[in-house]
Amino acid sequence: MRKITATTTAALLAGAGTAAFAAPAMADNHEATVSVLHAVPGLTVDVYVNGEETVPDFEPGTLTDPLMLPEGTYDVEVYADGDDPESAEPAISAEGLEVPGGANLTLAAHLAEDGTPMLSAFVNDTSTLDAGQSRLTVRHAAAAPAVDVRAGGSPVIEGLTNPDEEVLNLDAGTVSADVVLAGTEDVVIGPADLDLAEGTNTIVYAWGSAEEGTLDLAVQTIDGLHGDPGGVPSGQGGIATSTGVLTVLLMAGAAGAVLAGSRLVRREVA
């Protein structure tokens, strides 16, 4: 297997320490709050950090629990699932990878509209909400054309394209949401009930492939947005150590680099 060095992934992570990735007010500038969504169908990997296997058989559809990742440098190697490091070359590797502090972001390995795997870095909006308010963030990370997002049957977001996002501040409550092809009544995802709790940012990702029939939703929640913009994000499933989170960061890089030449897109909250 051809070896690919993750210089583009390292550059993306280094960029997370810039003004574009402004840190939450309560965050430690020597740590980064990081979540990772694995949304590339059909790609399973084994990840090694400093020579130790830390994430075996990591499968699509997983959103990691976020952790405060200490800034520092790491050596990481990613192998195709089941490959033996004693005899196989890593699909992707990074030596001396620098992880910056002070960032709050989610990395998503997903498909572009044309089905090409790519890596996007999204800044999570942790700004303070008014009493009674909730934030809804919708991210298009699927191999699908433009979509409308409806709440209670009425469009609240129209013409959203991959890999863009829309952020809305709404009254807290439970809404029934679905995703339709832009300008139509053709439901492609949902409906699903979303609990938009007061003082939270509920982040919904549409991922998978329309052509292959794998479209799905992933949901991430950031709470503590009433006077504490550094609230701790919570995900579904997860990796339980800071080293584990780092390995998934590189898994995301592997998805883009192995299958799509590391096409990277950085998204910034307006």
pLDDT in tens, 226-252: 854 444 444 333 333 334 444 444 444
Q: Which of 9-13, 76-80, 254-258 has the highest mean pLDDT?
A: 76-80
- Residue 251 is predicted with a pLDDT of 45
Closest CA to 14 of 32, 38, 26: 32
The 10s digit of each residue's pLDDT in 95-124 is: 775 566 776 778 777 889 999 877 777 888
C-alpha distances out from residue 24 to 21, 76, 219, 267, Å: 9, 27, 21, 17
- Residue 76 is predicted with a pLDDT of 66
Give every strand in the sheet of 4-5, ordered side by side: 4-5, 92-99, 72-80, 45-49, 52-58
CB contact at 8 A, 215 and 207: yes
What's the first-to-final CA gap in the chain, in angstroms?
A: 41
Q: Which residues contact 199 (CB under 8 A, 6 or more apart)?
A: 129, 133, 134, 172, 223, 224, 225, 226, 231
Burial letters 158-197, b for 16+ CB under 10 A, else e = eebebbbbbbeebebeebebbbbebeeeeebbbeeebebe
The bridge status of strand 72-80 relative to strand 92-99 is: antiparallel
Specify the higher pLDDT residue, 62 or 229: 62
196 pairs with which residues across the strands? Answer: 173
Query: Alpha-carbon distance 223 to 201, whole Å?
Result: 6
- Residue 78 is predicted with a pLDDT of 65
Banded pLDDT at 29 (limits 50, 70, 90)? confident
- Residue 180 is predicted with a pLDDT of 95
Closest CA to 155 of 171, 163, 166: 166
- pTM recorded for the entire structure: 0.70
Closest CA to 1 of 80, 106, 63, 64: 80
- Using a 10 angstrom Cβ sphere, with 0-12 exposed, 13-18 middle and 19 or more buried, the burial of residue 5 is middle
Among left, alpha and beta (phi > 0; psi -120 to 50; other), residue 229 is alpha
Domain ranges of the chain: 4-122+238-267, 126-222
- Choosing among 1.20.1440, 2.90.10, 2.60.40, 1.20.1740, the CATH entry for 126-222 is 2.60.40
